[in-house]
Amino acid sequence: MNKPHCLRPFLVAALGFATLLPAALAHHLHNQSDTEELSSPWMNKNLSPGERADMVLQQMTLDEKIDLMHGNGMPGWGAPRPNAYLGNGGAGFVLGIPRLGIPIIQMSDAAYGVRNSAENGRYSTALPSNLASAASWDPHAACEYGALIGRELRAQGYNMSLGGGVNLTREPRNGRTFEYMGEDPVLAGTMVGNRIRCEQAQHVIGDIKHYALNDQESGRGEVDSIISKRAMRESDLLAFQIGIQVGDPAAVMCSYNAVNGDFACENKYLLTDVLKKDWKFKGFVLSDWGGTHSTVKASAAGLDNEQPMDDFYGAKLKEAVQSGKVPMSELDDHVRRILRSEFAAGIVDYPVQKSVVNVDKGFAISRTIAEQSTVLLKNNGDILPLDAARLHSIAIIGPHADFGMISGGGSAQVDPEGGRPTPWHAQVWFPTSPLKAVEAQAPQASVQFDSGANPASAAALARRSDVAIIFAYQWESEGMDLPSLSLPDNQDALIEQVAAANPHTIVVLESGTAVTMPWLNKVAGVVEAWYAGSKGADAVADILFGKVNPSAKLPMTFPLSVADLPHPHLVTPPPGTQGTAAVMRTGEARPTFAVHYDEGLKVGYKWYDAEKRPVLFPFGFGLSYTTYNYSGLKVQPGAETSVTFTLKNTGSRDGAEVAEVYAALPASADEPPKRLVGWSKVPLKAGESKQVTVTIDPLYLSIYNEASDSWKLVPGSYTFMVGGSSQSLPLAKRINLK
């Protein structure tokens, strides 16, 4: 390659790194003549990402390859490095190759919005939490969710998302439950896959995490998750498999915990045998921050990129390659995967240029998704929707209900608009005011507020009001687990006292997981709003006053009590073990205690079904302001089994019903009583009927056979059930499958 042609890729890369050159010059440099393209044949967009990656790989030095395999720190993580100025803040960055036109990978946490926007004077839309998104049961909403995050990442100078959490809810007290997609692998995998698919369409590298079985925060850096291959393949790993099939993410983030004796980020079974060989994953694996523990073992297992530093994939990796401990072919595979992902996601061809976030569009999307995600759990006497014309007085009760709604903490935390950078474990209330939202919906009523700090005062306000609306919260964050599923700060007693004063009491829950409700029989209505995002209060008010007919369904079971969980006593590290913070700083920990997943296949509703345990609210449950009737079930076996039925809106309001399809497998399969195998969210006008067909992927009817390491469809009698929740299935039909 002659020198004049070497200069152009360098300038393009420098532009992509720091986004300092004017846009016009960027466009000029990116669209040089065909003659110059011949000198960098990997810039030909007509070639496949794999072909382009191979061409670049042939031009790279050993040092350049190693630079691509590790991070360069992140703000607040150790002493800044001399090259820190190349970063964009966020979670850190991976160096590019200036002379070859390969840009820096600028990464940001982005679970439900772009994190740390306030640190550089910018704004991010906060969407409803990931769990809330799953409650919509709407893949189109998941696509909108991902596309918005992708656009805002690029506007802030990032080209890689660290969102995409899909760990199943085996332990609802897990502090990151709100970041995930619920307890069922088919629902969770489908929703996260559609999010990633549309996020990457914005030309950012998408990520799915935390691979795998990172189901608790307590001792997450030392815990060893012990589980059979069949159980993991049919539960947690199935969610990842579906998510990868649907979303084709460019990256997978391995988790802190160990699985069956080996840390996830140096676990050959997870990273190579399953992910790269069985699932044919073509992207790259990066460690969770501080989750790398070795050089030779991690490389051989399939870890491609260490974050956020180079404790193991810097000088130690170079020495291991030069001494022959890490073969060059193995190193090249790591690098090829990273390069291929950069081309596949489009970050080479479409360099990031900072721009202004479309705030109004973000607000509108966040509000719409919150409306679709809010679950109506109880509606005694049809107290909802409220009729503003008939209400003279409304009590709004609850901490901060005059100002805002709570959000989830840790690396998912989005800075509130107009706010300052938020500490790691600070409770952040987005400035979306329930009080103001209710006032706007009922302008003729007297709407008064009480924080609930003095329950007697709150009860007095409720007693003299036509209706009392309590906004109760439960805060969650990365790095900690909940001590229970009860509402904190004596809120259960507050609700009891208010409900005793006014039987027309409605509870709006702002939570990141299930909550117990000892007061359930004493209140008239319950609405699960989750962590509802930047426009959560407006969305909740739209539900309360009937501008929106609720259509969301629970993506997880709400148990009666912690005693009903598979592991009623949360497993925590024994005294004297290293804390997670120490693990993340040093990378020196080893698994010191185990969690045995003896429940195996029985995750979520499958556990309660198999153990015949009653629940507070079942998986898939959610009420509407209208009613639906199911009839005419037909099941047609074939390469893909099709389930057809008629769904009718029998009420007086337009609505949308999530029609759920479950299957009971033959007894010889030795499975829980039933599993979700498909669904359809069907919009229906009042009185309208539609014939609905749900096509079932054969994988969803199969079991994992450990002896052959493969999926098998067990021949025999299958019962297909259709209805509005996992415990309301009015239609059933039995057929034989060969």
Cα end-to-end distance, the chain, whole Å? 61
Residue range 632-659: average pLDDT? Answer: 97
Tokens 């089994």 label which residue?
A: 641
| Per-residue pLDDT, 35 | 36
Task: Please name which of 179, 170, 252 lies closest in space to residue 216, comparing C-alpha atoms.
Answer: 170
> How would residue 189 be classed by pLDDT, with cut points 50, 70 and 90?
very high
**Cβ atoms of 133 and 191 closer than 8 Å:** yes
Phi first, then psi, for residue 51 (nearest 5°) are -65, -40
The per-residue pLDDT for range 661-674, each reduced to its tens digit, is: 999 999 999 999 99
Residue range 540-563: average pLDDT? Answer: 98
Task: Please name which of 113, 51, 42, 690 lies closest in space to residue 412, comparing C-alpha atoms.
Answer: 113
| Domains contained in the chain, CATH given | 1-39 (no CATH), 49-345 (3.20.20.300), 377-559 (3.40.50.1700), 626-737 (2.60.40.10)
| Per-residue pLDDT, 31 | 43
| Per-residue pLDDT, 575 | 59
Average per-residue pLDDT for the chain? 92
Looking at residue 75, the DSSP 8-state letter turns out to be T
The per-residue pLDDT for range 683-698, each reduced to its tens digit, is: 999 999 999 999 999 9
Residue type, 440: A
Contacts of 530 (CB under 8 A, 6+ apart): 128, 129, 131, 132, 135, 178, 373, 374, 509, 510, 511, 512
- Which among 138, 262, 288, 311 is annotated as catalytic? 288
Looking at residue 205, the DSSP 8-state letter turns out to be B
Contacts of 207 (CB under 8 A, 6+ apart): 160, 161, 162, 163, 164, 196, 249, 250, 251, 252, 253, 286
Contacts of 148 (CB under 8 A, 6+ apart): 125, 127, 361, 362, 365, 366
Residue range 300-326: average pLDDT? Answer: 98
Tokens representing 336 are: 């090829």
The per-residue pLDDT for range 34-79, each reduced to its tens digit, is: 434 447 999 999 999 999 999 999 999 999 999 999 999 998 888 8
Which position has the higher pLDDT, 71 or 33?
A: 71
> How would residue 576 be classed by pLDDT, with cut points 50, 70 and 90?
low
Tell me the DSSP string of 304-353: -BB-SS-TTTSHHHHHHHHTTSS-HHHHHHHHHHHHHHHHHHTTTTS---
**Least confident stretch, 16-20, 48-52, 229-233, 642-646:** 16-20
| Per-residue pLDDT, 37 | 47
**Cβ atoms of 97 and 40 closer than 8 Å:** no
Residue range 477-490: average pLDDT? Answer: 96
| Per-residue pLDDT, 569 | 85
| Per-residue pLDDT, 19 | 35
Radius of gyration of the chain (CA): 26
The per-residue pLDDT for range 314-347, each reduced to its tens digit, is: 999 999 999 999 999 999 999 999 999 999 999 9
> How would residue 724 be classed by pLDDT, with cut points 50, 70 and 90?
very high
CA distances in angstroms from 488 to 107, 475, 497, 527, 536, listed in the order given = 34, 8, 16, 18, 21
The per-residue pLDDT for range 202-239, each reduced to its tens digit, is: 999 999 999 999 999 988 998 999 999 999 999 999 99
pLDDT at 9 over 50: no
> How would residue 579 be classed by pLDDT, with cut points 50, 70 and 90?
very low
Residue range 515-527: average pLDDT? Answer: 98
d(CA 491, CA 471): 10
pLDDT at 10 over 90: no
Residue range 567-586: average pLDDT? Answer: 60
Q: Is 82 exposed, middle or buried (0-12, 13-18, 19+ CB in 10 A)?
A: exposed
Residue range 369-386: average pLDDT? Answer: 98
The per-residue pLDDT for range 246-262, each reduced to its tens digit, is: 999 999 999 999 999 99
d(CA 311, CA 331): 17
Task: Please name which of 622, 504, 505, 480 lies closest in space to residue 554, comparing C-alpha atoms.
Answer: 622
Tokens 């994953």 label which residue?
A: 281
**Least confident stretch, 132-141, 419-428, 529-538:** 419-428
Residue range 534-552: average pLDDT? Answer: 98
pLDDT at 190 over 80: yes
| Per-residue pLDDT, 501 | 98
Residue range 444-470: average pLDDT? Answer: 98
**Least confident stretch, 14-23, 571-580, 693-702:** 14-23
Residue range 632-641: average pLDDT? Answer: 96
288 tagged catalytic: yes
Residue range 307-312: average pLDDT? Answer: 97
| Per-residue pLDDT, 33 | 36
3-state secondary structure 581-604: HHHHHHCCCCCCEEEECCCCCCCC
Q: Which residues pair with 379 in a beta bridge?
A: 525
Q: Which residues pair with 658 in a beta bridge?
A: 681
Rounded to an integer, what is the distance from CA 690 to the centroid of its chain? 32
Q: What 3-state DSSP class applies to 709? A: coil
**Cβ atoms of 104 and 137 closer than 8 Å:** no
Residue 699: count of CB within 10 angstroms of its CB = 15
pLDDT at 16 over 80: no
Residue range 423-433: average pLDDT? Answer: 90
CA distances in angstroms from 599 to 130, 177, 608, 709, listed in the order given = 25, 19, 11, 21
